[in-house]
Structure 1
C-alpha cells in the first residue's frame, strides 16, 4: 500500500496504539476524512483505520461539541423554566436508548461552565462532588479563571479515612487556575460532639463561611435507591440507607437527603453532615442530572424549589414535564 502524507513523517511501529487511534480520530472528526482517506494518509488498511477510530471513541478520546442549538431542546428548556419556575435550563440532545446519559450530558455542560469562568467579574463558585460533576469537569477545556474562587460544599473523607474518589474541586482548579478551598473533613460525623469539633476548626469554619456566601452553587444530584451514591461510595451504611428510605428520602444534594416534596428530612444522618446545605439564602443552585435513576430526585428537588437552574437531557426533560 502506498504511504500517505503523514506516514512519511513517522513509523507507526514506533507510535503507541493509543496515539495512532487519536491521530485517526483527529483526521476523521476534525479533518473530515473518510476511512479510505485516513488509511491512505496513515499508510494503513481501511479496516485498521476503522478500528482505530472506533477505539478512540470507546476510550473517550473523542469529544464532540455542537454549537447549533436544536429546536426541540430549546423548547424543552423553555418548558422546564415555565413549569418549575427555573431561572435557567439547558437540555442536551438524546444519545439513544441504552446509553449512559452522562456520555451525552457531560460534553454538553462543559462549555457552559467554561463560559461562567470566562466572566471577568470575580465570583465564588461552591461545588458539590460526585461522578456527574467529575465527568463534566473532565470534559472542560483549560480556561483562565484565576480571579475566581472555588469552595467545596461537602466534606471529602469517608468513615474509613479514605478520600472521596469523585472529589471535584482540585480537578476544576487545575482547569481554571482558580484559588480553591476544599472542605477537608468527613462527609458525615458520628455524633453532635464530633460535628461541633469539626465545625470549630478554622479551615472548616472558613470554608463553610465562604460556601455560604457563594455567588453560585453547582452540584449533581443523588438518588436514594439501593444504588444511592452516598451508599455505594461508603458514606452510608446499609442500615442507614434503609432507614432513610423508610423515612421518605428520595434524593440528596451535597449529602443532604430530601423527600418527595423537596423537603430536607429531619433525620440523624442529615444532622451529622459537616458541609453546607443548599440553597443557602439567595444563592442560586445549578444542578446537573439526567437518566431514569435521577428522575424521582430531580422531580422532588424541582418541586421543592431546591434548585434554580438545571442541566439535563432530552429524555429526562420530557419525562419531568409530562408527569
Structure 2
C-alpha cells in the first residue's frame, strides 16, 4: 500500500462501511472505476484499515452453525441462544422459524408444513408477523393441527389441508384414503412447494403424540423397545434415521420420508436435550437442508456419536 493510494483506500472504506454508500456511488465520488473500488475495499481489509470484531457470543454462534453445516452436509443452520425454560424455548424456536420463512420465502410462496406443537406456534407467528399472503400446504393428515389460533385472514393465509385424520384404524383404510382425489391433489402440491418446515419429536413421556392422543403410552413404549429415538412427520425412526417397521407406520396419513428427502429447502425446527437423539438421527439420514435449533442442542449434536 503506497502513501499515494492510502487516502483512496481510507476514503473508500469510510464511505462504504460508515456512510453506507454503494460501490457505484463511491466510484463516482472518487473518480475511479467500480472495479478499482472493489480492489480498494479488499486492500482495506487485507491491510487492517478496516477490521471486523465480533462479540464473543456471536463468534461462538457462527462457529457452531458452521460446524453443523459441515458435519451434516446442510445448506444452512440457524442457532438461537438457549432460553431459561422449555416453554420459552418452544416460543423462541417458533419465532426464529417464522422469521426464517419470512426472510427466505418469496412473496405469495408455498410452504409445506408438518405436524407438531412447534409448527402450530410457527403458523401463529406467521399470521401476525408476515406481511403479504402465504400458501400453507399440510404434509400430514389431522386438519385441526394446522388451524392457527389467530385468524389467518390477518394477512391472507391460504390453507391447503389433507382432509383425513393423522392416524387411522387400519392399513386398508389408510391406503383407501390415499386414493381419494382431494388427498392426492394436496400431495401433488407438496412436491412443488418452495419450502418445507418440519418439527422433530423425541420419544419421551411428554411427546406431542402422547399429549394429543395420537399414540398411547404402551404404543410409544413398544416403539422405543424397537429402537425408536423420535419421529419426523409422525414416522418413528431409529438412531440412523431409518423408519421403524410397525403397524403404527402403516396407519399414518403422512408424507413419506423418501418424498420428504426429495423436497426442496426442507427446514427442521427442534431443540431440547430430550430431542438430541432424534434430531441427530434425522440429520444423519439426510432429511434436512436447514436446521433451526438452540445453542445447547447444537453443541450436543456436534458431540453426538452413534454406534454402527
Name the counterpart of 2:286. Answer: 305
Structure 1: runs of 5 or more not aligned? 1-68, 158-162
1:143 to 110, 130, 135: 130
Q: Deviations over 1:7-29 (max 9, x none)?
A: xxxxxxxxxxxxxxxxxxxxxxx
SS in structure 1 opposite 2:268?
strand
Query: Residue 70 of structure 1 contacts residue 93 of structure 1 at CA under 8 Å; is this kept in 2?
Result: no
In the other structure, the counterpart of 1:101 is 89
Matched residue pairs, number? Answer: 245
Q: How does 1:235-314 map to 2 (within 5 A)?
A: 235-278=214-257, 279-314=260-295
The alignment partner of 1:268 has SS state of coil
In 2: Cα distance, 1:264 partner to 1:286 partner: 19
Say if 2:117 is the partner of 1:131.
yes
Contact 1:107/1:139 (<8 A) preserved: yes
| Alignment partners' CA distance in 1, 2:165 and 2:295 | 36
Structure 1 residues 165-209: Cα deviation after superposition (integer angstroms, max 9, x where no partner): xx3568695455243211121111111221122112221111122
Confirm or deny: 8 A CA contact 1:260 1:297 kept in the other structure: yes
* Equivalent residue runs for 1:149-160 within 5 Å: 149-156=135-142
5+ residue gaps, structure 2: 1-56
Answer with 1 or 2: which has the greater Rg. Answer: 2
TM-score (norm 2): 0.72
Using a 3 Å threshold, how does the CA distance of structure 1 residues 172 and 87 change in structure 2: closer, same or farther? farther
User: Structure 1: how far apart are the matches of 2:74 and 2:254?
Assistant: 25
| Contact 1:143 1:175 (C-alpha < 8 Å) held by counterparts | no
Using the TM superposition, give the Cα deviation of residue 297 of structure 1 relative to its aligned residue in structure 2, in angstroms. Answer: 0.6
**Equivalent residue, structure 2, for 1:217:** 196
Residue matched to 1:316: 297
Q: What RMSD, in angstroms, separates the aligned Cα atoms of the two structures?
A: 2.4
Q: How do 1:1-323 residues align onto structure 2 when only pairs under 5 Å count?
A: 70-96=58-84, 100-117=88-105, 119-120=106-107, 123-140=109-126, 141-146=128-133, 148-156=134-142, 163-164=144-145, 167-168=146-147, 173-174=152-153, 176-278=155-257, 279-323=260-304
Query: Relative to structure 1, is the Cα distance of residues 153 and 98 closer, same or farther in structure 2, using a 3 angstrom cutoff?
Result: closer
Offset, 1:98: 7.0
Residues 98/108 of structure 1: CA separation in 2 closer, same or farther (3 Å cut): closer
CA distance in structure 2 between the aligned counterparts of 1:287 and 1:175, rounded to whole angstroms: 26
1:126 to partner: Cα distance: 0.9
Give the superposition deviation at 1:150: 1.7
